Chains A and B, each alone.
Chain A
């Protein structure tokens, strides 16, 4: 069965420090992977996506993620965070071909402290 696991429910970090939010997926076929961000009282906004090609994907707001097929991971990173990055981050994945639904992880709350 297809699943997406976010390994940390909360990640506290100081401003200007680097951060990594971890995501693992479970699938035996080709996958599509996404990271979304949700600010308080808002809908989800796409940060970046991996469909194929280069395994290092750059997104908005200075975020990037690396698709690692051998480790079935798609961790999100940012070298220096800002207070404004405080939000909930969701990893999501889908299986290619046919009618397949996008599965979301449980979310990771990133709290950036001054």
Chain B
């Protein structure tokens, strides 16, 4: 397996624009996690899914953030409208159960100017 695949690796956008981050989990994994990493706040869990269903979205910072998982092999994290304070590295991770190791993607470095 190629591991967790995220795209794009880098995204630069202007404030107010919509941004969509994509993730393909490892085949057979039924948990998917979205994390955000910043210098100030470290690694924060935004939302996670089990069998494509959102289980806990309490970490989603604002209504501007939304996440979907239309099928077992694809998830998106959308920010609309984007703001400079959304600049961070966003990681997607997947696992076969919630309490075993999570495999991380390479991350998407988002810069909002």
A residues with CB within 8 A of B: 32, 34, 36, 42-46, 49, 51, 90, 94-96, 99-107
Q: Residue B112 at the A interface, CB < 8 A?
A: no
Could you write out 15 A-B pairs with CB less than 8 Å apart?
A36-B104, A42-B107, A43-B104, A45-B104, A46-B103, A99-B50, A101-B56, A102-B33, A102-B45, A102-B98, A102-B102, A104-B35, A105-B42, A107-B42, A107-B43
Q: Residue B12 at the A interface, CB < 8 A?
A: no
Q: Contacts A43-B104, A43-B107, A45-B104 hold; do A101 and B42 have CB atoms under 8 A apart?
A: no
B1-33: CB near A (< 8 Å → 1, else 0) gives: 000100000000000000000000000000001
B:71-113 near A, CB below 8 Å: 91, 93, 98-107
Q: CA–CA, A107 to B102, complex, Å? A: 17
With beta carbons under 8 angstroms apart, the residue of B33, B48, B98, B101 that contacts A46 is B101
The 6 closest A-B pairs by CB, nearest first: A43-B104, A44-B104, A104-B43, A106-B42, A32-B99, A94-B99
Q: Choose among B35, B43, B93 the residue with the greatest number of A CB atoms under 10 Å from its CB.
A: B43
Q: Contacts A101-B56, A102-B33 hold; do A32 and B106 have CB atoms under 8 A apart?
A: no
* Smallest beta-carbon distance A3→chain B, Å: 13
Q: Is the CB of B106 within 8 A of A43?
A: yes
**Which residues of chain B are near A32, meaning CB under 8 Å?**
99-100
**Which residues of chain B are near A100, meaning CB under 8 Å?**
98-99
Q: Is the CB of B99 within 8 A of A90?
A: no
Q: Choose among A36, A43, A46, A107 the residue with the greatest number of B CB atoms under 10 Å from its CB.
A: A43
Q: Is the CB of A43 within 8 A of B91?
A: yes
Residue ID in chain A nearest B44 by CB atoms = A104
Q: CA–CA, A42 to B6, complex, Å? A: 12
**Which residues of chain A are near B101, meaning CB under 8 Å?**
34, 46, 49
Q: Is the CB of B99 within 8 A of A96?
A: yes
**Which residues of chain B are near A105, meaning CB under 8 Å?**
42
Residue ID in chain B nearest A49 by CB atoms = B101
Given contacts A43-B91, A94-B99, A104-B43, 15 further A-B pairs with CB under 8 A are A32-B100, A34-B101, A36-B104, A42-B106, A42-B107, A43-B106, A43-B107, A45-B104, A51-B100, A95-B99, A99-B55, A99-B56, A102-B102, A103-B45, A106-B42
